[in-house]
Amino acid sequence: MSAQKAQRPRVGPGRIGAQRRSEIPPAVLAELNAGRLETVNLVEWLAADLESVLRASLRACGAGKLPSDLDAALSRLREATALARIAAAGEALARAFPAGDRSQKVLALLSEHTSDLTRSCAAYALQQGEELRLEERLRRVRRFAADRNMSVRECAWACVRPAYARDLPRALVLLGPWIADGDPTIRRFAVEGTRPRGVWCSHLEELKVNPGLGAHLLEPLRSDGSDYVRRSVGNWLNDAAKSQPVWVRSLCARWARESRTPETAWITKHALRTLEKGSTKPLTRGQRSKRA
């Protein structure tokens, strides 16, 4: 074992996550599965047993004997893919604790639980209900959008994104004030959740066709002081460039003229990376013949 690995804390704040699932110390995995420890990277997030985490979390919240439907749903979680497990768990929790003081108490405790996986499931649980207006959905998700753990912040935008697809114009209006917030996690949430393509999620077809609909969310952030926000803006534009390259090139050229800052330069370079990579590919024989 290297000196660097030997110095890594096994459990506790400031620890460094393993790079492979097989390298996760048994003590760390046990604490993760018991809901007493947050994951620190994707490897741990994928390795943790969500069923065990939630059962332990519910016991700690005083949920008592679980309803049979919830018990059965938790037993089936291993059958789904990673993010689908979180979503399925959230749906099951919402059905098990639909209303009343006890249900509100349990969901509130889960929302503040030590485990980031548990908090993520709570975020999904609080988004259930077709009757919820978009304003209420955003109010409920805000605490998770500003969570201390990145995995919860990723689940925050993912759990509300389907509602954006149902009423995109309204969502883009409501997210306007979020990009002026002093917290970079809130600004980043407004951008990341509206990416035309996104990661591990369905596409927002309207924005793929007309990315200009979301330009008002990006313009004020073109020289943002947070790398976390700038990266999201660049990724948003890189998504848009895959279907509307002319629009993205035009916007980036204008930004470069109007905002001569290192931050804007970084965003535009990040936004154009796929287009630039494509333009440097060797020509095929057919393309060379046409140019000749």
Each residue of 211-241: pLDDT tens digit? 999 999 999 999 999 999 999 999 999 999 9
Residue 156 neighbours by CB under 8 Å, 6+ apart? 123, 141, 144, 145, 147, 189, 193
Distance CA 82, CA 201 (A): 12
pLDDT confidence of residue 286: 53
Q: pLDDT tens-digit profile of 39-74? A: 999 999 999 999 999 999 999 998 878 888 898 999
DSSP 87-117: HHHHHHHHHHS-SSHHHHHHHHHHHT-S-HH
The Cα–Cα gap between 282 and 274 comes to 15
Q: What is the pLDDT of residue 290?
A: 42
**CATH class in words for 167-278:** mainly alpha
CA distance 237 to 232: 9
- Residue ranges per structural domain of the chain: 21-166, 167-278
- DSSP H/E element including 97: none
Q: Among 160-169, 195-204, 267-276, which is the least confidently predicted range?
A: 195-204
Burial class (CB in 10 A: 0-12, 13-18, 19+), 273: middle
What H or E segment, with its residue span, contains residue 283?
none
**pLDDT value at position 13?**
58
For residue 115, CA distances in Å to 31, 46, 119 come to: 10, 14, 6
pLDDT of residue 275: 94
pLDDT per residue as tens digits for the range 188-204: 999 999 999 978 889 99
